[in-house]
Amino acid sequence: MIPNPIRRVLSSIADNNVRALLMGGQACILYGAAEFSRDTDLAILASPANLKRLKAALADLQASVIAVPGFEPQYLRAGHAVHFRCQDPEAVGMRIDVMTKMRGVAPFARLWARRTTMELAYGLRCEVMALPDLVAAKKTQRDKDWPMVRRLLEAHYFQNRENASAAQVRFWFRELRTPELLVECAMKWPAARRTETGKRPLLLHAQSGEGTKLEAALQAEEEAVRRADARYWAPLKAELERLRHRPLKP
């Protein structure tokens, strides 16, 4: 169950009609791939009207900016995260991170169109980033994200493999990071494996059951994504360094 402080945050977001999608660790909990997360991460629409609604929700939560950059649209649109800390008694100490642009992730309009709506306790409805988009958002250079990506995909596979749709099978061939499950998929859906191998050549090792080669190929794939994420963040980190020498705006 989502802890009370998180529910307080999500209730304020919903009550103020903020167009936002839950992502990060809390979304992973809802998808069955995590047990605990300290923060609330949100993908938001960075339109003037929606940012105004978000400001109202943050005021309700007594949340203020705790790091650079400040809460300004240009930083969100450039790809920065803006970080807040709540002081509301029901969510005291809760950190909220908001973003609107992420490497390798679709624009917000598409994220919103394919979102997952989940019913939480006490009748609270929560708009959650769709699993494929959450997986894409989690592919970063951070060590902690890759085990989570693997667990997200494993949970989805075990929940759906008995009655899998063609779209789900394609998704698993493109994204699964567990060698044993890729081999299992290759045996169970050989036609789909042949179709997807052109997009992901390491599936050839899944077909032949070469676990050692498959593991090495998966590691190489991960390292390539980590390097791409580092390149993406290099100019953003440089901008953050410049901003740290300027007064923080609320």
The CATH number that applies at residue 98 is 3.30.460.40
pLDDT score of 48:
97
**Cα separations in angstroms, 114 against 43, 134, 153, 156, 225:** 13, 12, 18, 17, 24
| Burial bucket for residue 246 (CB in 10 Å: 0-12, 13-18, 19+) | exposed
pLDDT score of 248:
53
Per-residue pLDDT of the chain in tens (250 residues, 90 and over written 9): 455 899 999 999 999 999 999 999 999 999 988 767 789 999 999 999 999 999 999 999 999 999 999 999 999 999 999 999 999 999 999 999 999 999 999 999 999 999 999 998 778 899 999 999 999 999 999 999 999 999 999 999 999 999 999 999 999 999 999 999 999 999 999 999 999 999 999 999 999 999 899 999 999 999 999 999 999 999 999 999 999 887 655 5
pLDDT score of 216:
97
- Clarify whether residues 208 and 227 are in a common domain: yes
pTM reported for the whole predicted model: 0.93
- Clarify whether residues 20 and 114 are in a common domain: yes
Which domain range does residue 190 map to?
145-234
User: What three-state secondary structure class fits 64?
Assistant: strand
Q: Look at residue 111 and tell me if it is in a domain.
A: yes
pLDDT score of 1:
46
Beta strands in the chain (DSSP E): 20-23, 39-44, 63-65, 82-86, 95-99, 116-119, 125-128
pLDDT score of 123:
81
Q: Look at residue 59 and tell me if it is in a domain.
A: yes
Q: In total, how many domains does the chain have? A: 2
Distance, in Å, from the CA atom of 106 to the CA atom of 63, rounded to the nearest integer, reads 28
User: What three-state secondary structure class fits 105?
Assistant: coil
Instruction: Lay out the sheet containing 63-65: strands in order across.
Output: 63-65, 82-86, 95-99, 39-44, 20-23, 125-128, 116-119
**Cα separations in angstroms, 73 against 14, 68, 116, 219:** 21, 13, 26, 37
- Clarify whether residues 23 and 129 are in a common domain: yes
